[in-house]
């Protein structure tokens, strides 16, 4: 079941994010977070504008998806949003990412956004394939912008135009 996140989900959301940090090349963060460090981020979630959704499976959070402003405060970009998603490492390859991404696309359409962006690290092939499955196209490439203790990698922008 996919639903809007509540503060009680924060620890699980952070744990899933920390799994991505540990795995490497799934986020540009290199140090894990404690839930209290992400409370400010959580309180920036605006359900009717920039929601955070969780996929609940058997009473626990198995994945999450956020919709956030792209280049916050720049009015000409208000119709574009960034979409981010993460799945619990023990729940991968079960369709959770696909369900979350479809839900996010639908929500963005309902909220009136016209452009979705997903910014990933190039080694994250699974995420690239998921985005492409839903019609996202590679729109931008920032070569060797990320440095993981001497291992450099590129960042890739994927975009999707929604019909209005």
pLDDT digits (tens, 9 = 90+) for 102-131: 999 999 999 999 999 999 999 999 999 999
Mean pLDDT of the residues in the chain: 94
Please tell me the distance from the alpha carbon of residue 63 to that of residue 55, in angstroms, as a whole number.
Answer: 5
Q: What pLDDT, on a 0 to 100 scale, did the predictor assign at position 46?
A: 80
pTM over 0.85: yes
Residue 164 has pLDDT above 70, yes or no: no
Region of 81 please: left (phi>0), alpha (psi -120 to 50) or beta.
Answer: beta
Q: What pLDDT, on a 0 to 100 scale, did the predictor assign at position 43?
A: 86
pLDDT digits (tens, 9 = 90+) for 38-84: 988 888 888 789 999 999 999 999 999 999 999 988 999 999 999 99
Q: What is the rounded average pLDDT of the residues 84-94?
A: 91
Q: What pLDDT, on a 0 to 100 scale, did the predictor assign at position 117?
A: 98
Question: In the chain, what percentage of residues exceed pLDDT 70?
Answer: 99
Q: How confident is the model at residue 101 (pLDDT cuts 50, 70, 90)?
A: very high
Q: What is the largest CA-CA distance in the chain?
A: 44
Rounded to 10°, the helix 125-133/96-110 angle is: 50
């Amino acid at each position: 079941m996919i639903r809007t996140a509540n503060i009680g989900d924060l620890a699980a959301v952070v744990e899933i994010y920390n799994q991505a940090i540990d795995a490497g090349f799934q986020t540009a963060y290199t140090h894990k977070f404690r839930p209290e460090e992400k409370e400010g981020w959580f309180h920036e979630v605006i359900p009717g504008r920039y929601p955070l959704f969780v996929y609940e499976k058997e009473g626990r959070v198995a994945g999450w998806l956020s919709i956030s402003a792209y280049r916050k405060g720049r009015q000409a970009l208000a119709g574009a949003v960034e979409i981010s998603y993460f799945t619990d490492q023990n729940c991968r390859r079960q369709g959770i990412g696909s369900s979350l991404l479809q839900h996010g696309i639908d929500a963005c359409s309902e909220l009136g956004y016209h452009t979705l962006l997903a910014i990933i690290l190039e080694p994250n092939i699974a995420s690239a394939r998921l985005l492409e499955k839903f019609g996202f196209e590679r729109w931008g490439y920032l070569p060797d912008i990320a440095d993981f203790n001497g291992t450099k990698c590129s960042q890739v922008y994927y975009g999707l135009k929604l019909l209005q």
